[in-house]
Amino acid sequence: MSEQPSTDHLKDVAGDCVHCGFCLPACPTYQLWGEEMDSPRGRIHLVSQLLDGAPLTPATATHFDRCLGCMACMTACPSGVQYDQLIEAARGWTEHPDQAPAGPPARADAPADAPAASPAAISAPARFARRSLRDRTTRAAIFAVFPYPARLRALTAPLRMAQRTGLDKWLAGSGLPAKVSPAAEAALRLAPPSAKRTAGQRLPERVAARGPRRAVVGMLTGCVQSVFFPQVNAATARVLAAEGCDVIIPRGQGCCGALSGHSGRHAEAMRFARATIETFEQAGVDAIVVNSAGCGSAMKDYERLLADDPTWAARATALSGRVRDLAEFLAGLGPVAPRHPVPVTAAYHDACHLGHAQRITRQPRELLGAIPELRLVELPDAGTCCGSAGVYNLLQPQAARELAVRKADSVLASGAELVISANPGCTLQISAELAQRGKVIATAHTAEILDASINGRPR
């Protein structure tokens, strides 16, 4: 398949790493375990070994799987290593071990004298890192459901029912889900309380600007966002309209491909990307505003994803150039709508796909800081992932849980009454952990707080 970047290109990217280690303290998995193989520098080294022809060992695949894809390492790296490209390639190899750089045997100086007693010592490339059956089934299930809002809605109905009846508490208490599958247990723990079914949940195709029109923007509704957090999409549309934007919400839009792309399912990601490009091209908008950090970063990356596809490259570049995160867009546009006080002490949590992948940290703080009576506190570990990371919390439940525990500790210590973030996954992750401790700290999306301030909507 031609969808993987060339080995030479990846070698160049890996070659930018000077092994200085500045990324280590920024990496959540290094923070957890303190092991080189679970650090960015170590993972880059593993990728280099594979590029040089080493066979993919099960242990190596595990280290790629454990990477959250939070890109904190890229923010920390003075040498500008494009780690995102390396980990995406590595995820491709772990998904399809037969596509890992085959060919030449390991470098001449490779350890020929690996300890014989080593259980993991691999002698021939024949022994691929096959995932366990359970792991493969979980992955297949996730990718068959999450990118499709209708399926997601249908599947989560029983889950909602369980929550409403208190069944969830009983189930969790019984420890049964964990015994059946850690992923099932995590899914149960993380499912949001049944979203308030507000009237008019389905957004209109067009929301007109209030006052003079300043821009015409498209809006991505997203899969998880539209199913679990329809109120965030509604708030986004209201805020944009209040700031003078005509908001176009194309009906036909599907998944943007973020989940697939970040998990090494390149062909699937490209398929979703092409469809999304087509949909928004037809919408005829100045900018495409995205309120979900993971989707935004994936769409800004279409340019690279489709770079080698002659019929799509130019269209992908054009589309990526028009994608804006909501906070980025609003800060750039400048406020016109008057703000009302929102008297609350709030912590802003940087979603990794916004803070690290898109390097947007200033704009949301500016927007929130400008709200009268809203006191913004900083979390000391603001740059560290909460463990949500797309579907990571379903695939690596234990590590995700440990990171959630740390994040919840720091939220509690900050004295915040409200946690604001731009990614549904983070909000779910943090509030679930707090709820486990019986702590009720409200969580909200940036759009909801702006909406509350501008439109006076109680949350």
Q: Which residues bind another protein (CB under 8 A)?
A: 15-22, 24-25, 33-37, 41-42, 45-46, 49, 54, 57, 59-60, 63, 76-80, 109-111, 113-122
CB 53 within 8 Å of CB 101: yes
Cross-strand pairs, 207: 247
Torsion, CA 224, CA 229, CA 230, CA 234, rounded to 10: -120
Query: Among candidates 61, 40, 41, 35, which has minimal Cα distance to 50?
Result: 61
Choice from 7, 11, 21, 442 touching ligand SF4 (CB under 6 A): 21
Distance CA 419, CA 438 (A): 16
- Whose Cβ is closer to ligand SF4: residue 43's or residue 131's? 43
In order of 34, 41, 218, 387, the CA distances from 25 in angstroms are: 9, 11, 38, 16
The amino acid that residue 141 corresponds to is A
Sign of the CA dihedral 60, 142, 222, 281? Answer: positive
Structure tokens at 283: 């919408």
The amino acid that residue 60 corresponds to is T
Give yes or no for residue 41 binding ligand SF4 (CB under 6 A).
Answer: yes
- Whose Cβ is closer to another protein: residue 119's or residue 284's? 119
Structure tokens at 24: 């280590």
Q: Which of residues 277-296 bind ligand SF4 (CB under 6 A)?
A: none
Q: Which does 114 bind (CB under 5 to 8 A by kind): another protein, ligand SF4, none?
A: another protein
Region near ligand SF4 per CB under 6 A, out of 17-25, 254-262, 395-403, 427-435: 17-25
Shortest Cβ distance from residue 66 to ligand SF4 (Å)? 7
CB 41 within 8 Å of CB 19: yes
Choice from 73, 248, 330, 420 touching ligand SF4 (CB under 6 A): 73
Q: Which does 28 bind (CB under 5 to 8 A by kind): another protein, ligand SF4, none?
A: ligand SF4
Give yes or no for residue 441 binding ligand SF4 (CB under 6 A).
Answer: no
Distance CA 55, CA 97 (A): 9
Distance CA 8, CA 13 (A): 9
Distance CA 426, CA 379 (A): 14
Shortest Cβ distance from residue 439 to another protein (Å)? 24
Shortest Cβ distance from residue 91 to ligand SF4 (Å)? 11
DSSP 443: E
Residues with Cβ within 8 Å of 147's Cβ and at least 6 positions away in sequence, in order, are: 223, 254, 255, 257, 259, 260, 268, 272
Choice from 14, 72, 394, 434 touching ligand SF4 (CB under 6 A): 72
Distance CA 136, CA 94 (A): 11
Shortest Cβ distance from residue 452 to ligand SF4 (Å)? 32
Give yes or no for residue 354 binding ligand SF4 (CB under 6 A).
Answer: no
Region near ligand SF4 per CB under 6 A, out of 27-35, 366-374, 409-417, 440-448: 27-35
| Local structure of 147: helix, strand or coil | coil
Chain centroid, CA 293 distance in Å: 7
Q: Which does 199 bind (CB under 5 to 8 A by kind): ligand SF4, another protein, none?
A: none
Number of residues that bind ligand SF4 (CB under 6 A): 27
Parallel/antiparallel/unpaired status of strands 245-248 and 206-207: antiparallel
Give yes or no for residue 386 binding ligand SF4 (CB under 6 A).
Answer: no
Choice from 13, 71, 223, 371 touching ligand SF4 (CB under 6 A): 71
Q: Which does 71 bind (CB under 5 to 8 A by kind): another protein, ligand SF4, none?
A: ligand SF4
Q: What angle do CA 324, 328, 331 make, to 5 degrees?
A: 135
Choice from 13, 14, 17, 249 touching ligand SF4 (CB under 6 A): 17
Sign of the CA dihedral 447, 450, 451, 457? Answer: positive
Shortest Cβ distance from residue 362 to another protein (Å)? 13
Choice from 61, 68, 186, 394 touching ligand SF4 (CB under 6 A): 68
Q: Which does 8 bind (CB under 5 to 8 A by kind): another protein, ligand SF4, none?
A: none
- Whose Cβ is closer to ligand SF4: residue 74's or residue 217's? 74
Phi and psi based region of residue 86 (left: phi greater than 0; alpha: psi -120 to 50; beta: remaining): alpha
Give yes or no for residue 43 binding ligand SF4 (CB under 6 A).
Answer: yes
Give yes or no for residue 67 binding ligand SF4 (CB under 6 A).
Answer: yes
Shortest Cβ distance from residue 262 to ligand SF4 (Å)? 10
Give yes or no for residue 27 binding ligand SF4 (CB under 6 A).
Answer: yes
By the criterion CB under 6 A, which residues form the site for ligand SF4? 17-23, 26-29, 40-41, 43-44, 67-73, 76-77, 79, 81, 83
